[in-house]
Chains A and B, each alone.
Chain A
Amino acid sequence: MKKGKDKDQSMIMDLIAELRTSLVATLLLAVLLCGVYPVVVWGVARGIFLHKANGSLLYHDGRIVGSSLIGQEFKGPGYFHPRPSAAGEGYDAAASGGSNLGPTSQKLIDAVAERISGYRTENGLAENVPVPADAVTASGSGLDPHISIANAALQARRVASVRGLSEAAVHKKIEARTEGRDMGIFGEPRVNVLLLNLDLDGKL
């Protein structure tokens, strides 16, 4: 009996010791991993890649007009249009996210049908021309800055006619804002919509 009691007591002492070690180790590791580490990375990142560490921001006349990585809404016919966005009310860069609608969702299919007819009308496309998938579906982040090359090409005529430019000139702009696969292998070729529109406005 007495021996059992001793054993219980020593187990409690062990537990207290473990909790004390846990507490001290938590604080020490927190200082290192949650203080020193992110601040060192911050310092180094600022030293080498200041522009990127601060969000790849774009300026015009000294004012911030966006980030080259973050998509923006464009609706006017003279601009290239980005993908539909489910972030907040659309391209809300403080509330990223997708629609999260599943493949058999009535809401999703209805929305896509509406976007398809809108896309065909504004770009003067015949009923039998397939519409690029990225033009009528929302991205995962809701902030996708890119569209596919096919999507940009189909919008070129509209933008050219509104701006009084030749189609060839607009295609040239598209080409200039096209990013290829990384290292020729990774990912997909794409067009940065914000940069392309800024370029058209002569604000780059």
Chain B
Amino acid sequence: MDIFGWIQLALFVAVLFGLTKPVGIYLARVLDAKGATFLDPAIRPVERLIYRISGIDPDREQSWRQYAVSIIAFSLVGLLFTYAVLRLQNLLPLNPQGFGPVRPDLAFNTAASFTTNTNWQSYGGESTLSYFSQMVGLVFHNFVSAAMGIAVAVALIRGIAGHSAKSIGNFWVDLVRINLFLLLPICVFYSVFLVSQGVVQNFQPYVTAEVVERLEGTADSSQTIAQGPVASQAAIKMLGTNGGGYMNANAAHPYENPTPLSNFIQMLSIFLLPSGLTYTLGRMVKNQRHGWAVWLVMTLLVLAGTFAAWSSEAAGNPRMQTLGVSAADGNMEGKEVRFGIFGSALFATITTDASCGAVNAMHDSFTPLGGLVPLLNMQLGEVIFGGAGAGLYGMLVFVVLTVFLAGLMIGRTPEYLGKKIEAYDVKASAIAVLIPILFTLGFAALAAVSAWGVAGLNNAGPHGLSEMLYAYSSAAGNNGSAFAGLNANTPWYNTTLGIAMLAGRFLIIVPVLALAGDLARKKRVETSGGSFPVGGGTFVVLLTGTILIVGALTFLPALSLGPVVEHFTLYGSVRLF
């Protein structure tokens, strides 16, 4: 844990803090259909054109049910769209490597994965998908699923801020405006920056290089180097917290994340929108202290995870050190030299705090406690900044539960920013919290006792259980990172993971919208001295406690059998698996 790590960490938090307010203000303008932005002259005409052709009435106000129906209809069409693109990729253009159609179970898994902002990948990008499949079939969802997450978060904020309102906004307007005014303009500049660092952006066939040293015993002295429109995809995969790598090795691949600087910017871009949204929250509910309190809870949890992962990876693998590996180097298996221990540990923490899931090091090869951090991050519901939008609405669900618990403790009707929290709201929140838990533990248990589940493992012993647990935590949490040794490209894994991803997305969005609709409908009462303050230290402690207690109570037994046992085996015995 050297000084350069501390400097990078301090810089990261400082820059994130500095960007939160401007991004939050801009977001608030984008999310107000009448809001003015400096991009209006260029983009307003395109916006109007899309409304006109699609038959969208931008002045229409939707109830929460209508909002939910729009989301589900749009997602269904998008799911089928991507499924079709993948199945037909051999007939579509931009397929210089001549890849065949994607198998049905894999196409379903991938379409579900990208529709739900998960970006779990049962395939290796450069060995399976054509340029068209990546650029159209996948990038489409990288944009719209991120926009959808932000839209739902804002619908919930509108519900909290509303006063006897019937509507929580218009999904179509939110969708179009977020894509046009927010994601697209940032991505154009961001992609070009990535190219300046060495990320490729081309449509040429894979390059064949004549290697410098012709090795004895090898028939072939060439190296085939995968190419493609990587930069445009890498930009949105980070900004939209999607995380699906163009290449199999994702952000560890030198063409996808070539320099430590591109690494730093990629990490920042994962948190950029989720962090800005906390400011938007404060602004829209007219309580900026509340927005910052939520930001602080998130930041504290990021720091805690980073310390845990960083110190464990820096300590390295004692078994290797016994053999003679330099103890000062830490655990370098699965890591890139240019990023080092800190750059890999911070990335792993961030990508799983958020629902990004891009990786710049192989989590499967992390030390037991280093790997526990990303696993637990996902199991906490990915509310630590979280996905674009999804993180904030997940966190607000925890806020409602916190307010409810605080109300129980002091014996008053719980109240959140002037809205009474009643049975309906608590039920909706509880469902949203319980759904991913159910699908994570349920499917992981099923896989652990099934032949197909065990057959996919790359590691034996407790680490094998971690691989399965990680897969379903990642799917139900819509994260998409993996203990990638697991061979999940089988019909059973593809199908169960696909179901977990869809449940973890839509069975949460619907109760969250129901909560939004119910809060919107309520009268806003003046907050009094007896109201529970949602801005101070007590609130920060209670909210952090609620998140940790729910997560810990649910997952500790499973985690004890996986990473925790593995940790004690690694240090306390000579056993290997």
Residue ranges of A at the interface with B (Cβ–Cβ < 8 Å): 14-15, 17-26, 28-30, 32-35, 37-38, 40-42, 44-46, 48-49, 52-58, 63-67, 69-76, 79, 83, 87, 91-106, 108-109, 112-113, 116, 120, 127, 129-134, 136-148, 150, 179, 181-183, 185-188, 190, 194, 197-198, 201, 203
Chain A residues with CB under 8 A of B344: 140
User: Which partner residue on chain A sits nearest B125 by CB separation?
Assistant: A96
On whether the beta carbons of A103 and B135 are closer than 8 Å, the reply is no
Q: Which of B254, B317, B343 contacts A144 (CB 8 A)?
A: B254
Per-residue contact bits, chain B 562-577, to A (CB 8 Å; 1 contact, 0 not): 0000100110000111
Chain B residues with CB under 8 A of A48: 192, 195-196
On whether the beta carbons of B55 and A94 are closer than 8 Å, the reply is no
Chain A residues with CB under 8 A of B323: 109, 112-113, 116
CB distance from B295 to the nearest CB of A (A): 24
Residue picked from A52, A58, A67, A133, most chain B C-beta under 10 Å: A133
B552 at the binding interface (Cβ < 8 Å): no
User: Which partner residue on chain A sits nearest B362 by CB separation?
Assistant: A98
On whether the beta carbons of B319 and A54 are closer than 8 Å, the reply is no
Contacts A94-B126, A103-B368; is A21 near B140 (CB within 8 Å)?
Answer: no
User: Which partner residue on chain A sits nearest B225 by CB separation?
Assistant: A93
User: Which partner residue on chain A sits nearest B227 by CB separation?
Assistant: A55
Contacts A65-B210, A69-B254, A186-B263; is A22 near B76 (CB within 8 Å)?
Answer: yes
On whether the beta carbons of A97 and B484 are closer than 8 Å, the reply is yes
Q: Which of A20, A29, A42, A182 contacts B259 (CB 8 A)?
A: A182
User: Which partner residue on chain A sits nearest B77 by CB separation?
Assistant: A22
On whether the beta carbons of A29 and B484 are closer than 8 Å, the reply is no
Chain B residues with CB under 8 A of A147: 337
Chain A residues with CB under 8 A of B577: 102, 104-106
On whether the beta carbons of A32 and B209 are closer than 8 Å, the reply is no
Chain A residues with CB under 8 A of B324: 116, 120, 127, 129-131
On whether the beta carbons of B485 and A143 are closer than 8 Å, the reply is no
For chain B, the count of residues having a C-beta within 8 Å of the partner chain is: 128
Chain A residues with CB under 8 A of B127: 94-95
B78 at the binding interface (Cβ < 8 Å): yes
Q: Which of A70, A95, A103, A190 contacts B317 (CB 8 A)?
A: A103
Task: Add 15 more A-B contacts to A24-B55, A71-B254 (CB < 8 A).
Answer: A21-B70, A34-B140, A38-B135, A41-B192, A45-B231, A48-B196, A52-B196, A52-B199, A54-B202, A95-B126, A98-B334, A104-B459, A134-B337, A181-B260, A186-B8
A-B pairs with the 10 shortest C-beta distances? A187-B260, A100-B485, A133-B329, A140-B252, A96-B249, A188-B340, A102-B463, A186-B260, A130-B326, A98-B362
Bound: A57/B205 CA distance, A:
14
Per-residue contact bits, chain B 256-274, to A (CB 8 Å; 1 contact, 0 not): 0011110110000000000
Q: Which of A38, A49, A92, A190 contacts B337 (CB 8 A)?
A: A190
Please list 19 pairs of residues, one from A and one from B, whose beta carbons are closer than 8 Å in the complex, sorted by A's number: A25-B50, A37-B232, A58-B209, A64-B208, A66-B211, A70-B255, A92-B224, A98-B364, A98-B484, A99-B334, A100-B334, A104-B575, A106-B577, A133-B316, A133-B331, A140-B344, A140-B361, A146-B338, A181-B4
CB distance from B260 to the nearest CB of A (A): 2
User: Which partner residue on chain A sits nearest B360 by CB separation?
Assistant: A140
Contacts A97-B249, A133-B326; is A57 near B207 (CB within 8 Å)?
Answer: yes
User: Which partner residue on chain B sits nearest A20 by CB separation?
Assistant: B55
Chain B residues with CB under 8 A of A20: 55
Chain A residues with CB under 8 A of B231: 41, 45, 53
Query: Which of B105-113, B183-191, B394-402, B471-479 is the contact stretch?
Result: B183-191
The majority secondary structure among interface residues of chain A is: mixed
CB distance from A84 to the nearest CB of B (A): 9
CB distance from A53 to the nearest CB of B (A): 5
On whether the beta carbons of A101 and B485 are closer than 8 Å, the reply is yes
Contacts A18-B69, A185-B7; is A67 near B325 (CB within 8 Å)?
Answer: no
Chain B residues with CB under 8 A of A49: 192, 195-196
User: Which partner residue on chain A sits nearest B359 by CB separation?
Assistant: A140
Q: Which of B66, B124, B263, B319 contacts A95 (CB 8 A)?
A: B124
B490 at the binding interface (Cβ < 8 Å): no
Chain B residues with CB under 8 A of A93: 223-226
User: Which partner residue on chain B sits nearest A91 by CB separation?
Assistant: B223
User: Which partner residue on chain A sits nearest B343 by CB separation?
Assistant: A187
Chain B residues with CB under 8 A of A57: 207, 209
Q: Which of A22, A76, A129 contacts B73 (CB 8 A)?
A: A22
User: Which partner residue on chain B sits nearest A147 by CB separation?
Assistant: B337
On whether the beta carbons of B362 and A41 are closer than 8 Å, the reply is no
Interface residues of B in 539-577 (CB under 8 A from A): 566, 569-570, 575-577
B229 at the binding interface (Cβ < 8 Å): yes
Chain B residues with CB under 8 A of A116: 323-325
On whether the beta carbons of B264 and A94 are closer than 8 Å, the reply is no
On whether the beta carbons of B463 and A72 are closer than 8 Å, the reply is no
On whether the beta carbons of A112 and B213 are closer than 8 Å, the reply is no
Per-residue contact bits, chain B 106-139, to A (CB 8 Å; 1 contact, 0 not): 0000000000000000001011000000011001
Per-residue contact bits, chain B 301-331, to A (CB 8 Å; 1 contact, 0 not): 0000000000000001101100111111111
